[in-house]
Amino acid sequence: MKIFFRNIHLYLSLVSGLIIAVVCLTGGVLVFEKELEQAWHPERYFVAPATSPRMPLKLLAGSVVAYKPTAKITGVKVYADPARTVEFSLAGAPGGEKGDKKEGGRAGKGAEANVAPAAEAGAPREGAGRREGGAEGKGEKGGKGGKGGEGGPGGPKVFVNPYTGAVTGELNYRETFFFTMMALHRGMVGGPIGKLIVGVSTVMFLFIIATGIVLWWPATRKALQQRLKVKWSGGWKRVNHDLHIVLGFYSALFLFVFAFTGLAWSFEWFNKGIYAVTNSPMQRPEPPVSTVPTATDVAAPQQPVQGPLVAGSAPLTPDAALQLVVRQVPEAESYALQLPKDPTGSIRVATLRRGAAYENATDELYLDQYSGKVLSQQTYEQRSLGQRVRGMFKPVHTGAVFGWPSKIIALVVCLLGFTFPITGTILWLNRLRKANKKQRKQEAAVAAL
Protein backbone atom coordinates (compact mmCIF):
# COMPACT_ATOMS: atom_id res chain seq x y z
CA MET A 1 0.00 0.00 0.00
CA LYS A 2 2.88 2.35 0.75
CA ILE A 3 4.11 1.93 -2.80
CA PHE A 4 0.79 3.38 -3.98
CA PHE A 5 1.08 6.38 -1.66
CA ARG A 6 4.76 6.82 -2.57
CA ASN A 7 3.87 7.00 -6.26
CA ILE A 8 1.17 9.61 -5.59
CA HIS A 9 3.57 11.58 -3.41
CA LEU A 10 6.32 11.38 -6.02
CA TYR A 11 4.42 12.20 -9.19
CA LEU A 12 2.38 15.02 -7.67
CA SER A 13 5.62 16.48 -6.30
CA LEU A 14 7.33 16.27 -9.68
CA VAL A 15 4.42 18.05 -11.35
CA SER A 16 3.92 20.82 -8.79
CA GLY A 17 7.25 21.00 -6.97
CA LEU A 18 8.58 24.13 -8.66
CA ILE A 19 5.31 26.02 -8.13
CA ILE A 20 5.17 24.93 -4.49
CA ALA A 21 8.74 26.09 -3.90
CA VAL A 22 8.01 29.53 -5.36
CA VAL A 23 4.75 29.89 -3.42
CA CYS A 24 6.41 28.90 -0.12
CA LEU A 25 9.38 31.20 -0.64
CA THR A 26 7.28 34.21 -1.59
CA GLY A 27 4.86 33.43 1.23
CA GLY A 28 7.75 33.53 3.70
CA VAL A 29 8.83 36.91 2.36
CA LEU A 30 5.30 38.30 2.78
CA VAL A 31 4.88 37.17 6.41
CA PHE A 32 6.64 40.26 7.81
CA GLU A 33 5.69 42.61 4.99
CA LYS A 34 4.02 45.16 7.25
CA GLU A 35 6.88 45.22 9.75
CA LEU A 36 9.55 45.45 7.04
CA GLU A 37 7.74 48.25 5.21
CA GLN A 38 7.49 50.29 8.40
CA ALA A 39 11.11 49.56 9.33
CA TRP A 40 12.42 50.55 5.87
CA HIS A 41 10.28 53.69 5.60
CA PRO A 42 9.46 54.86 9.14
CA GLU A 43 8.93 58.45 7.95
CA ARG A 44 5.83 57.32 6.05
CA TYR A 45 4.08 55.83 9.02
CA PHE A 46 5.37 57.61 12.12
CA VAL A 47 5.82 61.18 13.33
CA ALA A 48 6.92 62.79 16.56
CA PRO A 49 3.76 63.50 18.61
CA ALA A 50 3.18 67.22 19.08
CA THR A 51 1.48 69.13 21.86
CA SER A 52 -0.61 71.02 19.34
CA PRO A 53 -3.94 69.50 18.22
CA ARG A 54 -4.24 67.62 14.97
CA MET A 55 -5.18 69.57 11.89
CA PRO A 56 -8.66 69.05 10.37
CA LEU A 57 -8.97 66.44 7.66
CA LYS A 58 -10.04 69.18 5.27
CA LEU A 59 -6.64 70.86 5.57
CA LEU A 60 -4.76 67.57 5.40
CA ALA A 61 -6.66 66.68 2.23
CA GLY A 62 -5.66 70.06 0.86
CA SER A 63 -2.02 69.14 1.42
CA VAL A 64 -2.55 65.96 -0.57
CA VAL A 65 -4.16 67.85 -3.44
CA ALA A 66 -1.30 70.37 -3.40
CA TYR A 67 1.17 67.48 -3.50
CA LYS A 68 -0.66 65.74 -6.37
CA PRO A 69 -3.00 68.26 -8.04
CA THR A 70 -4.60 65.65 -10.32
CA ALA A 71 -5.15 63.12 -7.55
CA LYS A 72 -8.60 61.99 -6.51
CA ILE A 73 -8.81 61.07 -2.84
CA THR A 74 -10.78 57.86 -2.30
CA GLY A 75 -9.92 56.98 1.28
CA VAL A 76 -8.63 58.23 4.60
CA LYS A 77 -7.56 56.38 7.70
CA VAL A 78 -6.97 58.04 11.05
CA TYR A 79 -5.15 56.32 13.92
CA ALA A 80 -5.69 56.99 17.60
CA ASP A 81 -1.94 56.60 18.10
CA PRO A 82 -0.55 60.16 18.20
CA ALA A 83 2.66 58.94 16.54
CA ARG A 84 0.94 57.68 13.37
CA THR A 85 0.45 59.60 10.15
CA VAL A 86 -2.91 60.01 8.45
CA GLU A 87 -3.22 57.80 5.36
CA PHE A 88 -4.97 59.04 2.24
CA SER A 89 -5.75 56.55 -0.53
CA LEU A 90 -5.88 57.87 -4.07
CA ALA A 91 -7.79 56.55 -7.05
CA GLY A 92 -5.72 54.31 -9.27
CA ALA A 93 -6.41 51.28 -11.44
CA PRO A 94 -9.97 50.68 -12.67
CA GLY A 95 -9.97 47.53 -10.57
CA GLY A 96 -9.53 49.62 -7.46
CA GLU A 97 -12.56 51.68 -8.37
CA LYS A 98 -14.52 48.49 -8.86
CA GLY A 99 -13.43 47.34 -5.47
CA ASP A 100 -14.66 50.60 -3.94
CA LYS A 101 -18.10 49.99 -5.34
CA LYS A 102 -18.21 46.54 -3.85
CA GLU A 103 -17.54 48.08 -0.46
CA GLY A 104 -21.03 49.43 -0.34
CA GLY A 105 -19.79 53.02 0.09
CA ARG A 106 -20.08 55.72 -2.52
CA ALA A 107 -17.31 58.28 -2.59
CA GLY A 108 -18.33 61.84 -3.30
CA LYS A 109 -16.52 64.45 -5.38
CA GLY A 110 -13.74 66.81 -4.35
CA ALA A 111 -10.80 66.60 -1.98
CA GLU A 112 -12.98 67.09 1.07
CA ALA A 113 -15.99 64.88 0.35
CA ASN A 114 -14.41 62.14 -1.68
CA VAL A 115 -13.10 60.15 1.26
CA ALA A 116 -13.38 56.34 1.48
CA PRO A 117 -11.82 53.82 3.84
CA ALA A 118 -8.20 53.01 3.46
CA ALA A 119 -6.70 49.58 3.77
CA GLU A 120 -7.16 46.94 6.41
CA ALA A 121 -5.83 48.10 9.73
CA GLY A 122 -2.10 48.53 9.58
CA ALA A 123 -1.59 46.75 6.27
CA PRO A 124 0.51 49.04 4.12
CA ARG A 125 -0.15 47.26 0.85
CA GLU A 126 -3.95 47.07 0.83
CA GLY A 127 -6.06 49.34 -1.38
CA ALA A 128 -8.98 51.55 -0.62
CA GLY A 129 -11.47 49.07 -1.99
CA ARG A 130 -10.90 46.32 0.54
CA ARG A 131 -13.43 45.39 3.17
CA GLU A 132 -12.27 46.37 6.62
CA GLY A 133 -13.37 43.17 8.21
CA GLY A 134 -11.49 40.91 5.86
CA ALA A 135 -12.78 39.64 2.59
CA GLU A 136 -15.97 37.75 2.74
CA GLY A 137 -18.07 36.57 -0.11
CA LYS A 138 -18.24 38.99 -2.98
CA GLY A 139 -16.31 41.47 -0.89
CA GLU A 140 -13.21 39.40 -1.54
CA LYS A 141 -13.52 40.13 -5.21
CA GLY A 142 -13.41 43.79 -4.50
CA GLY A 143 -10.68 43.33 -1.96
CA LYS A 144 -7.91 43.39 -4.50
CA GLY A 145 -9.74 45.63 -6.82
CA GLY A 146 -11.22 43.29 -9.37
CA LYS A 147 -12.77 39.99 -10.17
CA GLY A 148 -11.43 37.22 -8.06
CA GLY A 149 -9.27 39.70 -6.20
CA GLU A 150 -6.83 39.97 -9.10
CA GLY A 151 -7.10 43.60 -10.05
CA GLY A 152 -4.43 44.93 -7.72
CA PRO A 153 -4.50 47.22 -4.69
CA GLY A 154 -5.81 50.36 -6.37
CA GLY A 155 -3.92 53.64 -6.48
CA PRO A 156 -1.11 55.05 -4.35
CA LYS A 157 -1.31 56.12 -0.74
CA VAL A 158 -0.09 59.45 0.57
CA PHE A 159 0.95 59.87 4.19
CA VAL A 160 0.48 63.20 5.95
CA ASN A 161 1.76 64.55 9.25
CA PRO A 162 -1.45 65.27 11.22
CA TYR A 163 0.18 68.17 13.13
CA THR A 164 1.93 70.08 10.33
CA GLY A 165 0.07 68.93 7.20
CA ALA A 166 3.36 68.00 5.56
CA VAL A 167 3.33 65.06 3.17
CA THR A 168 5.75 62.48 4.64
CA GLY A 169 5.76 59.95 1.84
CA GLU A 170 3.92 58.12 -0.90
CA LEU A 171 3.46 54.41 -1.49
CA ASN A 172 2.50 52.94 -4.83
CA TYR A 173 2.21 49.28 -3.97
CA ARG A 174 2.36 48.14 -7.59
CA GLU A 175 5.91 49.46 -7.82
CA THR A 176 7.20 47.74 -4.68
CA PHE A 177 9.16 44.57 -4.13
CA PHE A 178 6.31 43.14 -2.07
CA PHE A 179 3.83 43.52 -4.91
CA THR A 180 6.13 41.39 -7.07
CA MET A 181 6.29 38.79 -4.31
CA MET A 182 2.50 38.83 -3.92
CA ALA A 183 1.99 38.51 -7.66
CA LEU A 184 4.33 35.50 -7.78
CA HIS A 185 2.71 34.01 -4.69
CA ARG A 186 -0.76 34.11 -6.17
CA GLY A 187 0.15 33.39 -9.77
CA MET A 188 -1.01 36.82 -10.91
CA VAL A 189 2.06 37.17 -13.14
CA GLY A 190 0.43 34.57 -15.38
CA GLY A 191 -3.05 36.10 -15.34
CA PRO A 192 -6.06 33.79 -14.83
CA ILE A 193 -4.04 30.79 -16.07
CA GLY A 194 -1.28 31.50 -13.58
CA LYS A 195 -3.79 31.82 -10.77
CA LEU A 196 -5.37 28.51 -11.79
CA ILE A 197 -1.97 26.80 -11.88
CA VAL A 198 -1.18 28.00 -8.37
CA GLY A 199 -4.60 26.84 -7.17
CA VAL A 200 -4.27 23.37 -8.70
CA SER A 201 -0.73 23.06 -7.36
CA THR A 202 -2.03 23.99 -3.91
CA VAL A 203 -4.61 21.20 -4.10
CA MET A 204 -1.82 18.81 -5.13
CA PHE A 205 0.24 20.04 -2.19
CA LEU A 206 -2.53 19.02 0.20
CA PHE A 207 -2.36 15.46 -1.17
CA ILE A 208 1.43 15.55 -1.04
CA ILE A 209 1.34 16.47 2.64
CA ALA A 210 -1.26 13.80 3.44
CA THR A 211 0.63 11.04 1.60
CA GLY A 212 3.86 12.25 3.16
CA ILE A 213 2.43 11.63 6.64
CA VAL A 214 1.39 8.12 5.57
CA LEU A 215 4.90 7.42 4.25
CA TRP A 216 6.48 8.88 7.38
CA TRP A 217 4.41 6.77 9.77
CA PRO A 218 6.84 4.35 11.47
CA ALA A 219 6.21 0.63 11.88
CA THR A 220 8.33 0.22 15.04
CA ARG A 221 9.36 2.28 18.07
CA LYS A 222 12.95 2.32 16.88
CA ALA A 223 11.88 3.68 13.53
CA LEU A 224 9.85 6.36 15.34
CA GLN A 225 12.93 7.57 17.20
CA GLN A 226 14.86 7.77 13.94
CA ARG A 227 12.13 9.80 12.26
CA LEU A 228 11.88 12.40 15.01
CA LYS A 229 15.40 13.78 14.78
CA VAL A 230 17.96 14.61 12.12
CA LYS A 231 21.13 12.52 12.23
CA TRP A 232 23.64 15.27 11.58
CA SER A 233 26.56 12.87 11.99
CA GLY A 234 25.49 10.82 8.96
CA GLY A 235 26.59 11.34 5.38
CA TRP A 236 25.10 14.01 3.19
CA LYS A 237 22.58 11.55 1.75
CA ARG A 238 21.36 10.65 5.23
CA VAL A 239 21.17 14.31 6.27
CA ASN A 240 19.21 15.15 3.11
CA HIS A 241 16.89 12.22 3.83
CA ASP A 242 16.28 13.39 7.40
CA LEU A 243 15.79 17.02 6.39
CA HIS A 244 12.99 15.91 4.07
CA ILE A 245 11.40 13.28 6.30
CA VAL A 246 11.88 14.65 9.83
CA LEU A 247 11.36 18.34 9.17
CA GLY A 248 8.55 17.47 6.80
CA PHE A 249 6.74 15.78 9.66
CA TYR A 250 7.15 18.72 12.06
CA SER A 251 5.93 21.25 9.51
CA ALA A 252 3.19 19.14 7.88
CA LEU A 253 0.28 20.41 9.97
CA PHE A 254 1.22 24.07 9.51
CA LEU A 255 1.81 23.65 5.77
CA PHE A 256 -1.55 21.91 5.42
CA VAL A 257 -3.33 24.79 7.18
CA PHE A 258 -1.53 27.42 5.10
CA ALA A 259 -2.27 25.57 1.86
CA PHE A 260 -5.90 24.92 2.77
CA THR A 261 -6.61 28.56 3.63
CA GLY A 262 -4.77 29.64 0.49
CA LEU A 263 -7.44 27.99 -1.65
CA ALA A 264 -9.78 30.86 -0.78
CA TRP A 265 -7.75 33.15 -3.05
CA SER A 266 -7.67 30.67 -5.92
CA PHE A 267 -11.18 29.28 -6.26
CA GLU A 268 -14.54 30.97 -5.93
CA TRP A 269 -16.21 27.61 -5.31
CA PHE A 270 -14.11 27.27 -2.17
CA ASN A 271 -15.45 30.56 -0.80
CA LYS A 272 -19.00 29.53 -1.65
CA GLY A 273 -18.39 26.27 0.18
CA ILE A 274 -17.45 28.13 3.36
CA TYR A 275 -20.79 29.93 3.39
CA ALA A 276 -22.69 26.78 2.45
CA VAL A 277 -21.11 24.75 5.27
CA THR A 278 -21.76 27.50 7.81
CA ASN A 279 -25.27 28.05 6.43
CA SER A 280 -24.59 31.76 6.04
CA PRO A 281 -25.57 34.19 3.28
CA MET A 282 -22.65 35.01 1.04
CA GLN A 283 -23.89 38.44 0.01
CA ARG A 284 -23.85 41.20 2.56
CA PRO A 285 -26.98 43.36 2.90
CA GLU A 286 -27.15 46.64 1.05
CA PRO A 287 -26.02 49.63 3.15
CA PRO A 288 -28.77 51.80 4.62
CA VAL A 289 -29.75 55.01 2.87
CA SER A 290 -29.76 58.58 4.13
CA THR A 291 -32.89 60.71 4.35
CA VAL A 292 -32.50 63.57 1.89
CA PRO A 293 -33.61 66.83 3.53
CA THR A 294 -36.57 68.57 1.93
CA ALA A 295 -37.01 72.30 1.47
CA THR A 296 -38.95 72.35 4.73
CA ASP A 297 -36.11 70.61 6.52
CA VAL A 298 -33.63 73.18 5.24
CA ALA A 299 -35.86 76.08 6.25
CA ALA A 300 -36.44 74.62 9.72
CA PRO A 301 -33.38 72.56 10.69
CA GLN A 302 -33.72 69.61 12.97
CA GLN A 303 -32.25 69.56 16.45
CA PRO A 304 -28.49 68.95 16.67
CA VAL A 305 -27.48 65.29 16.65
CA GLN A 306 -25.03 64.42 19.43
CA GLY A 307 -23.48 67.91 19.40
CA PRO A 308 -23.37 71.03 17.31
CA LEU A 309 -23.91 69.31 13.97
CA VAL A 310 -27.24 70.42 12.50
CA ALA A 311 -29.00 68.59 9.69
CA GLY A 312 -29.31 70.55 6.50
CA SER A 313 -28.96 70.35 2.78
CA ALA A 314 -25.18 70.00 2.89
CA PRO A 315 -23.68 66.61 3.79
CA LEU A 316 -21.47 66.26 6.83
CA THR A 317 -17.81 66.94 6.30
CA PRO A 318 -15.30 64.13 6.96
CA ASP A 319 -14.22 65.99 10.12
CA ALA A 320 -17.80 66.13 11.38
CA ALA A 321 -18.36 62.46 10.57
CA LEU A 322 -15.14 61.49 12.33
CA GLN A 323 -16.15 63.53 15.36
CA LEU A 324 -19.45 61.66 15.58
CA VAL A 325 -17.79 58.27 15.22
CA VAL A 326 -15.21 59.02 17.89
CA ARG A 327 -18.09 59.79 20.23
CA GLN A 328 -19.69 56.48 19.35
CA VAL A 329 -16.45 54.45 19.58
CA PRO A 330 -13.96 56.45 21.65
CA GLU A 331 -11.48 53.63 22.29
CA ALA A 332 -10.79 52.45 18.75
CA GLU A 333 -7.27 52.07 17.39
CA SER A 334 -8.20 53.36 13.94
CA TYR A 335 -11.09 54.89 12.03
CA ALA A 336 -11.59 54.39 8.28
CA LEU A 337 -14.21 56.58 6.66
CA GLN A 338 -16.04 56.11 3.40
CA LEU A 339 -18.42 58.89 2.42
CA PRO A 340 -21.32 58.48 0.00
CA LYS A 341 -21.17 59.11 -3.72
CA ASP A 342 -24.84 59.97 -4.20
CA PRO A 343 -27.40 62.00 -2.20
CA THR A 344 -29.04 58.94 -0.64
CA GLY A 345 -25.87 57.11 0.32
CA SER A 346 -24.71 56.70 3.91
CA ILE A 347 -21.34 57.19 5.52
CA ARG A 348 -19.60 53.91 6.31
CA VAL A 349 -16.98 53.80 9.04
CA ALA A 350 -14.88 50.80 10.03
CA THR A 351 -13.25 50.85 13.45
CA LEU A 352 -10.66 48.55 14.98
CA ARG A 353 -11.07 48.02 18.69
CA ARG A 354 -8.09 48.00 21.01
CA GLY A 355 -6.99 44.46 21.70
CA ALA A 356 -8.83 43.07 18.68
CA ALA A 357 -7.99 39.45 17.87
CA TYR A 358 -6.49 40.45 14.53
CA GLU A 359 -6.35 43.46 12.26
CA ASN A 360 -9.37 42.68 10.10
CA ALA A 361 -11.68 42.02 13.05
CA THR A 362 -13.28 45.43 12.65
CA ASP A 363 -16.66 46.82 13.62
CA GLU A 364 -18.67 49.01 11.28
CA LEU A 365 -21.42 51.56 11.44
CA TYR A 366 -23.35 53.65 8.95
CA LEU A 367 -24.28 57.28 9.49
CA ASP A 368 -26.91 59.40 7.79
CA GLN A 369 -24.81 61.77 5.69
CA TYR A 370 -26.97 64.77 6.59
CA SER A 371 -27.97 64.32 10.23
CA GLY A 372 -25.19 62.05 11.49
CA LYS A 373 -27.77 59.63 12.88
CA VAL A 374 -26.51 56.05 13.28
CA LEU A 375 -28.47 54.04 10.71
CA SER A 376 -26.96 50.65 11.51
CA GLN A 377 -24.14 49.26 13.58
CA GLN A 378 -22.49 45.84 13.67
CA THR A 379 -19.64 44.50 15.75
CA TYR A 380 -17.33 41.83 14.45
CA GLU A 381 -18.99 39.27 16.73
CA GLN A 382 -22.38 40.08 15.24
CA ARG A 383 -21.35 39.05 11.75
CA SER A 384 -22.57 35.77 10.38
CA LEU A 385 -20.58 32.64 11.10
CA GLY A 386 -19.55 32.43 7.46
CA GLN A 387 -18.20 35.98 7.48
CA ARG A 388 -16.22 35.36 10.67
CA VAL A 389 -14.80 32.07 9.41
CA ARG A 390 -13.83 33.61 6.07
CA GLY A 391 -12.44 36.65 7.87
CA MET A 392 -10.05 34.43 9.81
CA PHE A 393 -8.53 32.93 6.69
CA LYS A 394 -6.15 35.82 6.04
CA PRO A 395 -4.63 36.06 9.55
CA VAL A 396 -4.31 32.28 9.69
CA HIS A 397 -2.82 32.09 6.19
CA THR A 398 -0.29 34.85 6.89
CA GLY A 399 0.53 33.64 10.40
CA ALA A 400 -0.74 36.86 11.98
CA VAL A 401 -3.47 35.20 14.03
CA PHE A 402 -1.38 35.08 17.23
CA GLY A 403 0.98 37.95 16.52
CA TRP A 404 4.74 37.62 16.41
CA PRO A 405 4.96 34.00 17.68
CA SER A 406 2.72 32.66 14.93
CA LYS A 407 4.43 34.87 12.34
CA ILE A 408 7.82 33.42 13.25
CA ILE A 409 6.39 29.92 12.93
CA ALA A 410 4.89 30.82 9.55
CA LEU A 411 8.22 32.19 8.31
CA VAL A 412 10.16 29.09 9.39
CA VAL A 413 7.57 26.71 7.96
CA CYS A 414 7.42 28.57 4.63
CA LEU A 415 11.19 28.40 4.29
CA LEU A 416 11.08 24.68 5.07
CA GLY A 417 8.33 24.29 2.48
CA PHE A 418 10.67 25.85 -0.05
CA THR A 419 13.36 23.24 0.71
CA PHE A 420 11.16 20.14 0.52
CA PRO A 421 10.87 20.03 -3.30
CA ILE A 422 14.67 20.33 -3.41
CA THR A 423 15.46 17.67 -0.80
CA GLY A 424 12.71 15.45 -2.21
CA THR A 425 14.15 15.67 -5.73
CA ILE A 426 17.61 14.82 -4.42
CA LEU A 427 16.14 11.90 -2.48
CA TRP A 428 14.40 10.62 -5.62
CA LEU A 429 17.57 10.95 -7.76
CA ASN A 430 19.60 9.10 -5.15
CA ARG A 431 17.09 6.27 -5.19
CA LEU A 432 17.17 6.17 -9.00
CA ARG A 433 20.95 5.93 -8.98
CA LYS A 434 20.82 3.20 -6.37
CA ALA A 435 18.21 1.24 -8.36
CA ASN A 436 20.19 1.63 -11.60
CA LYS A 437 23.38 0.52 -9.89
CA LYS A 438 21.63 -2.53 -8.48
CA GLN A 439 20.17 -3.36 -11.89
CA ARG A 440 23.59 -3.10 -13.56
CA LYS A 441 25.07 -5.46 -10.98
CA GLN A 442 22.30 -7.97 -11.61
CA GLU A 443 22.80 -7.71 -15.36
CA ALA A 444 26.54 -8.19 -14.93
CA ALA A 445 25.96 -11.24 -12.74
CA VAL A 446 23.60 -12.77 -15.32
CA ALA A 447 26.09 -12.08 -18.12
CA ALA A 448 28.85 -13.79 -16.15
CA LEU A 449 26.89 -17.05 -15.90
Residue positions counted in the chain? 449
What is the distance between the alpha carbons of residues 140 and 120, in angstroms, rounded to a whole number? 13
Q: What is the pLDDT of residues 269-327, one digit of tens each?
A: 999 999 999 999 988 888 899 988 875 554 444 443 333 334 446 888 889 999 999 99
C-beta of residue 90 within 8 angstroms of C-beta of residue 270: no
Q: How confident is the model at residue 219 (pLDDT cuts 50, 70, 90)?
A: confident
Would the pLDDT of 154 be above 80?
A: no
Q: How confident is the model at residue 121 (pLDDT cuts 50, 70, 90)?
A: very low
Q: What is the pLDDT of residues 63-85, one digit of tens each?
A: 999 999 988 887 789 999 999 99
Judged by average pLDDT, the poorest of 171-185, 312-326, 378-392 is 312-326
35 vs 145, more confident: 35
Q: What is the pLDDT of residues 32-67, one digit of tens each?
A: 999 999 999 999 999 999 888 999 999 999 999 999
Residue 162's pLDDT is what? 96
Would the pLDDT of 442 be above 90?
A: no
Residues with Cβ within 8 Å of residue 181, at least 6 apart in sequence: 26, 29, 30, 33
What percent of the chain shows pLDDT beyond 90? 61
Residue 296's pLDDT is what? 52
Q: For the residues 393-412, what does the mean pLDDT come to?
A: 95
Mean pLDDT for the chain? Answer: 83
Residue 202's pLDDT is what? 97
